[in-house]
């Protein structure tokens, strides 16, 4: 069976990269940890908030890899020599990815009371009108 994508429509020329981004996003892990919010602050500003209680700044990393915002967390397991009667808080790691549109940049990242806030802004693209000369054949 042949897979048909929206980028194969004849009016969508050159959108193959967008089709690959949609496919990559669909493959992203959806285990639900850590929980997060995405909010639109204003017309061109967004905020991603992740609940990362128990993670210190040095346990977290934020990178942009090929138009993809990648947030990773890795806690050190400091349970050596300790005896737990119940262990409900596990030292765990995570990776959460968000695909960014062209022109969306990370402006700041702050860790506050167990919440990691990543602020994004979108620049307005320049409106360009290009005249194409018609040559006689």
Q: Mean pLDDT over residues 55-65, rounded?
A: 95
End-to-end CA distance of the chain: 44
pTM: 0.72
- Dist CA 30 CA 11 (whole Å): 32
* 102/127 Cα distance (integer angstroms): 15
Q: How confident is the model at residue 25 (pLDDT cuts 50, 70, 90)?
A: low
Which residue did the predictor score with more confidence, 10 or 121?
121
What's the pLDDT at 60? 97
Q: pLDDT (tens digit, 9 = 90+) per residue, 4-23?
A: 666 666 766 676 766 766 67
The domains found in the chain, sorted by start residue, are 32-78+86-122 (2.60.40.790)
Going by C-beta distance under 8 Å and a sequence separation of 6 or more, which residues neighbour residue 72?
60, 61, 62, 63, 93, 94, 95, 96
What does pLDDT average to over the chain?
A: 85
Q: Is 70 exceeded by the pLDDT of residue 26?
A: no
Using CB atoms within 10 Å of the CB of residue 77, give its burial: 0 to 12 exposed, 13 to 18 middle, 19+ buried.
exposed
Paired residues of 39 in beta bridges: 47
Higher pLDDT: 114 or 28? It is 114
Q: Residue 19: helix, strand or coil by DSSP?
A: helix
72-117 per-position pLDDT tens digit: 999 877 778 889 899 887 778 999 999 898 899 999 999 999 999 9
CB within 8 A of 92, min separation 6: which ones?
33, 75
Sign of the torsion angle spanned by Cα atoms 117, 118, 119, 122: negative
Is pLDDT of 45 > 90?
yes
pLDDT of 2 over the 60 cut: no
Dihedral angle sign, alpha carbons of residues 76, 95, 68, 53: negative
pLDDT at 35: 93
What pLDDT is stored for residue 112 in this prediction? 96
């Amino acid at each position: 069976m042949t897979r048909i994508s929206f980028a194969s429509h004849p009016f969508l020329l050159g959108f193959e990269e967008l089709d690959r981004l949609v496919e990559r996003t669909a493959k992203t892990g959806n285990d639900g940890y850590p929980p997060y919010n995405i909010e639109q602050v204003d017309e061109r500003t967004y905020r991603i908030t992740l609940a990362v209680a128990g993670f210190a700044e040095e346990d977290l990393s934020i990178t942009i890899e090929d138009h993809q915002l990648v947030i990773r967390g890795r806690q050190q397991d400091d349970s050596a020599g300790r005896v737990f009667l119940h262990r409900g808080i596990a030292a765990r790691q995570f990776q959460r990815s968000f695909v960014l549109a062209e022109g969306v940049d990370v402006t700041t990242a702050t860790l506050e009371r167990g919440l990691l806030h990543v602020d994004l802004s979108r620049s307005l693209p320049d409106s360009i009108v290009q005249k194409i000369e018609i040559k006689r054949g």
